[in-house]
Structure 1
């Protein structure tokens, strides 16, 4: 699967939450965000 770069802008408070979560779980920011995206549900048309 081809990987493409993704740039997002988030609030500083959201970044603190992400960093704290990554520190607690020992996971990378990329890994955490990939999992979050995969968990998104799409409603059928």
Structure 2
């Protein structure tokens, strides 16, 4: 089960990307990926 935070961050990154907010897109995309990565590591 992927967290709501990770999904929300990637969703915001997608919106930011389409709105041409490059900095926000990178920030949310990175945050979402980091959250998911930490969750996967914590599960093992």
Bigger proportion of residues as helix: 2
Larger Rg: 1
Q: TM-score range by the shorter chain?
A: 0.3 to 0.5
Q: TM-score, normalised by structure 1?
A: 0.36
Q: TM-score, normalised by structure 2?
A: 0.36
